[in-house]
Amino acid sequence: MADADPIKTMEEGGMRTWQWLAVAMTVALNALDGFDVLSISFAAPGIAKEWGVDQGILGWVLSMELLGMAIGSILLGGVADKYGRRPTILGCLVAMTIGMWFAGTAGSVNELLVWRLITGLGIGGMLAAINATAAEFSNARWRSVAMALMVIGYPIGGATGG
């Protein structure tokens, strides 16, 4: 058994509890992403009214996180491959937390734009890393189910926020 290939063992073996827990964590992280992306939609009318923001500026506020996600997924997906998924996921979680926290305390539209961009960078990197994580932690038989579960975390988070 000492000569057994660990990758082959995991691919061909049954899904263990710790593997399902790892997949569940990717679902939860994706739900957090879905909640945050859609939360600005719920807050937008209040932001527009309180700060007197017109539709054009509000469009930038709503889009800034998506721009950050695009940049983060492109830049940080490679970081996860090079330095590891766990440190990348944890770093992205820190960026998301900082961005979310300070977006809630922003005093101007410009501040909100910056914090939404930072949050988006974290989310983009997170999405790139958790896709591969869910696939790597599941065996061949359950991989498609694990990936489907990870993907449905996003709408679960959005619906929970709604």
Say if CB 88 and CB 129 are below 8 A apart.
yes
CATH number at residue 37: 1.20.1250.20
Count CB neighbours of 60 within 10 A.
Answer: 14
Higher-confidence residue of 9 and 140: namely 140
> 119 to each of 87, 112, 159, how far by Cα in Å?
17, 10, 19
Note the helical H segments in 84-108. 85-104
User: Does any domain span residue 2?
Assistant: no
CA gap 124, 135 in Å, rounded? 18
pLDDT higher than threshold 70 for residue 2: no
What is the rounded CA–CA span in Å between residue 64 and residue 47? Answer: 15
Q: Quote the number of domains for the chain.
A: 1
C-alpha span between 131 and 114 (Å, rounded): 26
Residue 3: pLDDT above 70? no
- Domain that residue 87 falls in: 32-161
**CA 137 from centre of chain:** 18
State the average pLDDT for the chain: 90
pLDDT in tens, 17-74: 999 999 999 999 999 888 988 888 888 888 889 899 888 888 998 899 999 999 999 9
pLDDT at 79 over 70: yes
